[in-house]
Amino acid sequence: MTTDRLIVVTGATGRQGNATAHRLLAAGRRVRALVRDTTAPAAKSLAAAGAELVRGDFDEPSSLPAALEGAAALFAVPPAAFGPDGPDVEREFARGRALADAAAAAGVEHVVFTGIASTPGRPHVSEGKRRIEEHLRARIRSVTVLRPVRFMSNYLASAPIGVDGIAHGVHRHIFPPDEPVQVIAVEDIAEFAALAFDQPDRFAGRSLELAGDAPTPAEAVAAISEATGAVLRYERLTHAEATALHPEIARVREDWDAGSRWHADIEALRVIHPGLRTFADWLAESGTTPLRKRLLESAES
């Protein structure tokens, strides 16, 4: 795909979309960023980097055709939807279907769709994303699916709800402390997206499980402690604690104990993308400074 062909990036102020938009812009690509608020700091940063901003909302399908007009390719991150009882599959699918239909009508040739990492025997963890993926494949000639595992940047969560983030020196999650857990830097999701856009024929029809490292939770917290100088520890949520947060969190904990694991082939991915970041790489490159800030904020709250 030549560099003058327009790529639309959805979710451009979110983590995956923002990283991908900046990666494409740095490579000299023409990028149109779909955002709900063109005055948001992340949107302004993209505009300063050379992106064209366009306002769009998945819940307003009439806003999507103009956003996709003239585009050759699309990075698709339809936002998940949640109701009082958890994931709203129908609303999530409606959002993804609207985007796919608008892309097909605009003549978009290649879509890179990012979903959720699978586990053996469960290729589609999210029913909403499964249906979106199938609809995309039915409407768009060339589709590449990325399935990333847990983000390294989840440790930066500023207001933990019981999982992710670090509060008062403690990182809590559902995983056993001494078992490897695959993680990925969002910057590497952007790298794989850029590769797919550079070589659409090579990546057409492919689904890639994405991870860059697999430290144990205890190892990850120890690495953060060493990098930041803070005294930290890891605690695993009990089943009762996970259930109190949400039954879905408890179910994932049970599945993990039953052997359900992410299964990205990290060494094979490193052949495709030799610069694939380890957890230590992420800390050194971009993680340590914001982690120090978060830890200071947590200590003062």
170-225: per-residue pLDDT in tens?
A: 999 999 999 999 999 999 999 999 999 999 999 999 999 999 999 999 999 999 99
Q: What confidence score (pLDDT) does residue 246 get?
A: 86
Whether 202 is covered by a domain: the verdict is no
Determine contact, residues 287/155, Cβ cutoff 8 Å. Answer: yes
Task: Give the 3-state secondary structure of residue 71.
Answer: coil
Determine contact, residues 244/160, Cβ cutoff 8 Å. Answer: no
- The range of the structural domain enclosing residue 163 comes to 150-185+211-262+277-301
| Arithmetic mean of pLDDT, 260-264 | 94
Which CATH number goes with the domain that contains 141?
3.40.50.720
Whether 272 is covered by a domain: the verdict is no
Count of alpha carbons within 13 angstroms of residue 174, beta-carbon side: 24
- In whole angstroms, what is the distance from residue 182 CA to residue 151 CA? 9
Query: What's the domain count of the chain?
Result: 2
Confidence band for 151, pLDDT divided at 50, 70 and 90: very high
What's the predicted TM-score (pTM) here?
A: 0.94
Q: What confidence score (pLDDT) does residue 1 get?
A: 52
Give the ranges where the chain is alpha helix by DSSP (H). 15-26, 41-49, 64-68, 89-106, 127-139, 186-198, 200-203, 217-228, 239-245, 247-257, 266-272, 279-282, 288-300
**Same structural domain for residues 18 and 67?**
yes
- In whole angstroms, what is the distance from residue 64 CA to residue 71 CA? 12
Determine contact, residues 121/89, Cβ cutoff 8 Å. Answer: no
**Same structural domain for residues 137 and 57?**
yes
**Same structural domain for residues 83 and 154?**
no
**Could you tell me what percent of the chain has a pLDDT over 70?**
95
**Same structural domain for residues 114 and 166?**
no
| Beta-bridge partners for 144 | 112
Whether 200 is covered by a domain: the verdict is no
| Arithmetic mean of pLDDT, 26-43 | 95
